[in-house]
């Protein structure tokens, strides 16, 4: 489902004038700075769901990682920093978010992360050991379901889909969808109403 005609953070183009700001975050014990601005998700600080996902996601050195719906890049950049021998692809439909993420990759001296603009998985033609996503729940259940379904075609055997959501605000439905699509799902972390769900492609 393309979402070209609405100006939300999950829209391709943003109409508002960008007002750049710099935010700081401590993730897995490392300090980061990120450029943020209007027209992107959680512009003022790293949201609690993203923070939980960064701090608890399953990762192994040398993995190919997709940060899907990367926003201004907090997940992909922090993973690339913690695991310098991973290969991280960061993707978002939001052109402004991709531009900010590119600036943040440069500012944080990340050499193992790359960016692409993509409406869902349109421009992504490779497979990953893990796909990590904080899904755009405001875009609606159908979009989130499509992400879960299409991710399956972009995972290596035994690859992991790792997703964060508020359990009682749609997350439970996404967890059930992951179980339906992959035949398995487990919760690996929970905090402040958010849970991280993981499914393995078996």
Tens of pLDDT, residues 18-75: 678 898 998 988 999 998 876 676 666 788 999 999 999 999 999 999 999 999 999 9
Q: What is the CATH number of domain 21-200?
A: 3.40.50.150
Model confidence at 109: pLDDT above 80: yes
The pLDDT of residue 36 is 84
Say what the pLDDT of residue 91 is.
95
Q: What is the 3 state secondary structure string of the chain?
A: CCCCCCCCCCCCCCCCCCCCEEEEEEECCEEEEEEECCCCCCCCCCCHHHHHHHHHCCCCCCCEEEEECCCCCHHHHHHHHHCCCCEEEEEECCHHHHHHHHHHHHHCCCCCEEEEECCCCCCCCCCEEEEEECCCHHHCHHHHHHHHHHHHHHEEEEEEEEEEEEHHHHHHHHHHHHHHHHCCCEEEEEECCEEEEEEECC
139 pLDDT exceeds 90?
no
- Burial zone of 39 (CB within 10 Å; 0-12 exposed, 13-18 middle, 19+ buried): buried
Q: In the predicted model, is pLDDT for residue 112 greater than 80?
A: yes
Domain definitions of the chain by residue range: 21-200
pLDDT at 1: 37
Where does the pLDDT of residue 9 fall: very low under 50, low under 70, confident under 90, or very high at 90 and above? very low
pLDDT at 11 over 50: no
Each residue's pLDDT tens digit, 83-100: 999 999 999 988 888 999
Q: Tell which wins on pLDDT, 127 or 23.
A: 127
């Amino acid at each position: 489902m393309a979402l070209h005609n609405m100006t939300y953070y999950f829209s391709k183009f943003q109409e508002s004038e960008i007002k750049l700001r710099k935010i700081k975050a401590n993730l897995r014990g490392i300090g980061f700075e990120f450029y943020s601005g209007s027209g992107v998700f959680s512009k003022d600080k790293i949201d609690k769901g993203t923070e939980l996902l960064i701090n608890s996601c399953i990762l192994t050195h040398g993995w190919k990682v997709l940060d899907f719906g990367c926003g201004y890049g907090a997940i992909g950049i922090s993973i690339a920093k913690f695991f310098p021998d991973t290969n991280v692809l960061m993707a978002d439909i939001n052109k402004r978010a991709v531009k900010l993420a590119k600036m943040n990759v440069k500012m944080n001296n990340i050499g193992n992360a790359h960016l692409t603009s993509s409406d869902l998985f349109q421009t992504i033609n490779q497979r990953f050991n893990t796909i990590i996503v904080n899904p755009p729940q405001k875009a609606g259940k159908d979009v989130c379901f499509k992400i879960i379904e299409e991710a399956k075609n972009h995972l290596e055997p035994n690859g992991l889909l790792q997703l964060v959501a508020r359990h009682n605000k749609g997350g439970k439905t996404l967890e059930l969808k992951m179980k339906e699509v992959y035949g398995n799902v487990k919760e690996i972390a929970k905090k402040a109403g958010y849970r991280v769900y993981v499914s393995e492609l078996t």
